[in-house]
């Protein structure tokens, strides 16, 4: 506990060692949750949960080989491919998301990287128009160069999602078509363009606790730290190499969320994919541990998510309420 006690104010630290993070992670569970709550209350309203809605604007046929992903062209997951949507289709989905209480609209494309041209121009227009609805806008489009990041910033993009997924040592077991460094480079150009960074990982891919800790160390060393950190539990999709993994233990999910909350005190920690398989109790513990955002709506990108009715009941039962837009 010495590292916490020696920092009673819990300032944002960028020098956590793996050993220190591991010590937090391994605390007796009630103590871990208590420490996470202290930090959570210092920086966040513990009764508010931000609702974000995802839309896959271009689906399937992706040239990357991410072992978890149903959209990779390497695997036969049965997900139908879909070209880039029209602006009107996207706006209709964004309006509906806003009307259902989402304050952030996230558009995902199954691209390895963005290419200049008509499709990128269309995405920029989507960003402009969703922004005009008064929502935060996030995109996840694969790798970007600095010019593309600047153009997204000019279009009004709030945040760019680009996950590191796991620790650096395990990365090449999961993806071989790009490197951890490629990922870090895109995160840098996003930051330099003045766009908020959304960067997190996936639990349950066969990684060790050390790999999870290493991911949290990499995120915590970023300066500034990512404004939002999605923690996904692997959605096991048949046909992908990770389709028959065993589910991740719920207590392990809560431990990672609590640890993330402590080492990333100001970040919004988003309990992301995998909630359809989580009990109400597990999700409740995740909120207690400091998660303060979820994806809302019955679909993530290609896989199911709890519907609005269930999520409203979940938040009501716990006395939590959706964060309102600014």
Active-site positions read 62, 66, 69, 106, 138, 198, 270
Is position 69 an interface residue for ligand SAM (rule: CB under 6 A)?
A: yes
Give the pair of three-digit tokens for residue 303. 């896989």
Greatest Cα pair distance, the chain, in angstroms, is 55
- Rounded distance, CA 135 to CA 97, Å? 10
Q: 45 or 83, CB closer to ligand SF4? A: 83
Is position 233 an interface residue for ligand DTB (rule: CB under 6 A)?
A: no
Is position 302 an interface residue for ligand DTB (rule: CB under 6 A)?
A: yes
Distances (CA, A) of 36 to 131, 273, 285, 303: 33, 22, 11, 30
Is position 235 an interface residue for ligand DTB (rule: CB under 6 A)?
A: yes
Give me the sign of the Cα torsion angle 163, 168, 170, 172.
positive
Distances (CA, A) of 197 to 34, 177, 184, 209, 228: 28, 23, 11, 24, 7
- Rounded distance, CA 159 to CA 141, Å? 12
Subset of 105-134 contacting ligand DTB (CB under 6 A)? 106, 108
Is position 71 an interface residue for ligand SF4 (rule: CB under 6 A)?
A: yes
Subset of 147-176 contacting ligand DTB (CB under 6 A)? 161, 163
The enclosing H or E element of 201 equals strand 201-203
Size of the residue set binding ligand SAM (CB under 6 A): 18
Stretch that binds ligand SF4, among 64-72, 183-191, 233-241, 244-252 (CB under 6 A): 64-72
The enclosing H or E element of 294 equals strand 293-295
Give me the sign of the Cα torsion angle 178, 179, 185, 186.
positive
What one-character DSSP code corresponds to residue 291? -
According to DSSP, the residues that pair with 130 across neighbouring strands are: none
Stretch that binds ligand DTB, among 36-44, 112-120, 286-294, 296-304 (CB under 6 A): 296-304
Q: 20 or 232, CB closer to ligand DTB? A: 232
32, 33, 54, 69: residue in contact with ligand SF4 (rule CB under 6 A): 69
- The binding track of 139-178 with respect to ligand SF4, each residue x by CB under 6 A or -, is ---x------------------------------------
The radius of gyration of the chain's CA atoms, rounded to the nearest angstrom, is: 19
List interacting residues with ligand SF4 (CB under 6 A). Answer: 62, 64, 66, 69, 71-72, 110, 112, 142
List interacting residues with ligand SAM (CB under 6 A). Answer: 68-69, 71, 108, 110-111, 140, 142, 162-163, 165, 202, 232, 234-235, 237, 273, 301
List interacting residues with ligand DTB (CB under 6 A). Answer: 54, 70, 106, 108, 140, 161, 163, 200, 230, 232, 235, 272-273, 300-303
């Amino acid at each position: 506990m010495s590292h916490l006690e020696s920092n009673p104010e819990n300032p944002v630290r960028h020098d956590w060692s793996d050993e220190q993070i591991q010590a937090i992670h391994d605390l007796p569970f009630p103590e871990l949750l208590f420490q996470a709550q202290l930090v959570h209350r210092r920086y966040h309203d513990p009764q508010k949960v931000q609702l974000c809605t995802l839309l896959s604007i271009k689906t399937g046929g992706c040239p990357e080989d991410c072992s978890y992903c149903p959209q990779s062209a390497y695997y036969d997951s049965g997900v139908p491919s879909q070209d880039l949507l029209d602006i009107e289709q996207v706006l209709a989905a964004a309006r509906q998301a806003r009307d259902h209480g989402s304050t952030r609209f996230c558009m995902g494309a199954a691209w390895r990287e963005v290419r200049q041209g008509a499709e990128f121009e269309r995405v920029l227009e989507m960003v402009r128009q969703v922004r005009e609805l008064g929502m935060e806008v996030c995109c996840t489009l694969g790798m970007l160069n600095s010019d593309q990041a600047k153009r997204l910033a000019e279009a009004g993009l709030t945040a760019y999602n680009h996950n590191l997924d796991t620790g650096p040592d395990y990365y090449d077991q999961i993806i071989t078509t790009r490197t951890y460094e490629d990922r870090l480079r895109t995160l840098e150009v996003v930051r330099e363009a003045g766009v908020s960074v959304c960067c997190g990982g996936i639990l349950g891919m066969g990684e060790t606790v050390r790999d999870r800790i290493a991911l949290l160390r990499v995120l915590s060393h970023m300066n500034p730290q990512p404004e939002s950190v999605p923690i996904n539990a692997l959605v096991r999709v048949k046909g992908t190499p990770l389709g028959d993994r065993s589910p991740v233990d719920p207590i392990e999910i809560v431990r990672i969320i609590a640890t993330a909350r402590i080492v990333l005190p100001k970040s919004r920690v988003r309990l992301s994919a995998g909630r359809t398989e989580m009990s109400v109790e597990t999700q409740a513990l995740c909120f207690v541990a400091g998660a303060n955002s979820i994806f809302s709506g019955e679909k993530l990108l290609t896989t199911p998510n709890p519907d609005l009715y269930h999520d409203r009941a979940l938040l009501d039962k716990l006395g939590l309420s959706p964060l309102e837009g600014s």
